[in-house]
Amino acid sequence: MTGAIPMETSTARPAARPMRADARRNHDRLVGEARRSFAEHGTDASLEDIARRAGVGIGTLYRHFPNRDALMNAVFQDALCSLLTRSRELAAAEAPCRALVEWLGAIVTHAGEYRGLAHALMSASRDATSPLTQCHQPLREAGAGLLRRAQESGSVRDDVSIDDLLQLTNAIALAAEQSPDDPELTDRLLRLTLRGLK
């Protein structure tokens, strides 16, 4: 019955029609080249360079990705997917506290994967409309579940929120990024934070 409500059809997103062959190819080349450039120069790599190296006009880049966040998003989507899978595995694990700790470690590692990503994540968290924030939303919810479980089991304080934890993990990733000569900084800061969770 409810499934037959007419509004459904207007609310449902239009079927994503397949891209024209050349558009599809350009799209993929851009994402690939952006991944290379981000890895090499950080996430503030020149967009013009990326377009040129992908053998495409700068306008084409903007047609596919209206802003830098959208491009970053496309680049990080793979990593995001596997993180989400891992999150769901952890949600089913026995020890709630250990699961949360592992999840936080994975988040820090992710944020530190590309130079500039941690900073972008922190800035993006301000507005909910940013594609970067949108795509991290499911991950945030998975983390919220892990945190709640750990709190209910009594192993983590009640007065911390998932947003506090995410801000802190991003901050730790950023700090580590600024001190590349100290590879254990991340671990030390994370351990410090975890102790504070009680």
Partner DNA sequence: ACCTGAACACCGTTCAAGT
Interaction site with its own copies (CB under 8 A) = 119, 122-123, 125-126, 159-160, 163-164, 167-168, 170-172, 174-175, 178-180, 185, 188-189, 191-198
Beta carbon of residue 6, minimum distance to its own copies (angstroms, whole number): 39
Residue in 13, 20, 126, 195 binding DNA, rule: CB under 7 A: 20
Q: How far is CA 40 from CA 57, 83, 109, 160, in A?
A: 21, 23, 17, 36
Q: Tell me if 67 contacts DNA by CB under 7 A.
A: yes
**Nearer Cβ to DNA, position 20 or 195?**
20
Binder to DNA among 8, 28, 40, 57 (CB under 7 A)? Answer: 57
Q: What is the spatial distance between Cα 93 and Cα 185, in angstroms, rounded to a whole number? A: 28
Distance CA 106, CA 83 (A): 8
Residue among 36, 53, 68, 148 that touches DNA (CB under 7 A): 68
Task: Fill in the DSSP letter of residue 13.
Answer: P
Name the residue nearer to its own copies (CB basis): 28 or 187: 187
14-22, 77-85, 134-142, 171-179 -> range binding DNA (CB under 7 A): 14-22
- Considering the rule CB under 7 A, would residue 44 count as an interface residue with DNA? yes
- Say which entry of its own copies, DNA, none residue 174 contacts (CB below 5 to 8 A, set by partner kind): its own copies
The full length of the chain comes to 198
The per-residue DSSP string of 14-45 comes to PP-PPPPHHHHHHHHHHHHHHHHHHHHH-TT-
Angle (deg, nearest 10), helices 185-196 and 96-111: 140
E strand or H helix at 168: helix 162-178
Task: Rank residues 70 and 174 by Cβ distance to its own copies and give the closer one.
Answer: 174
User: Which residue is it, tokens 């891209």?
Assistant: 19
How crowded is residue 154: how many other Cβ atoms within 10 Å of its Cβ?
11
Q: Which is nearer to DNA, 49 or 102 (CB)?
A: 49
What does the binding site for DNA look like in residue numbers (CB under 7 A)?
19-20, 22-23, 26, 44, 46-49, 55-60, 62-64, 66-68
